[in-house]
Amino acid sequence: MQQDDTYRATLVRAAEILGGAKPLCDHLQVPMADLARWLTGDGKPPIGIFLRAVDVLIEERGKPKRSTPDRPNEKQDTKDG
Domain that holds residue 31: 3-60
Domain membership flag for residue 40? yes
Burial 4-15 (b: 16+ CB within 10 A, else e): eeebbebbbbbb
Domain membership flag for residue 73? no
pLDDT tens, position by position, for the chain (81 residues)? 576 799 999 999 999 999 999 999 999 999 999 999 999 999 999 999 999 999 999 999 887 766 555 545 545 555 555
Domain membership flag for residue 39? yes
pLDDT at 37: 97
Domain membership flag for residue 16? yes
| Domain count within the chain | 1
Domain membership flag for residue 45? yes
Domain membership flag for residue 36? yes
pLDDT at 69: 56
Asked if 5 contacts 38 with a C-beta cutoff of 8 angstroms, the reply is no
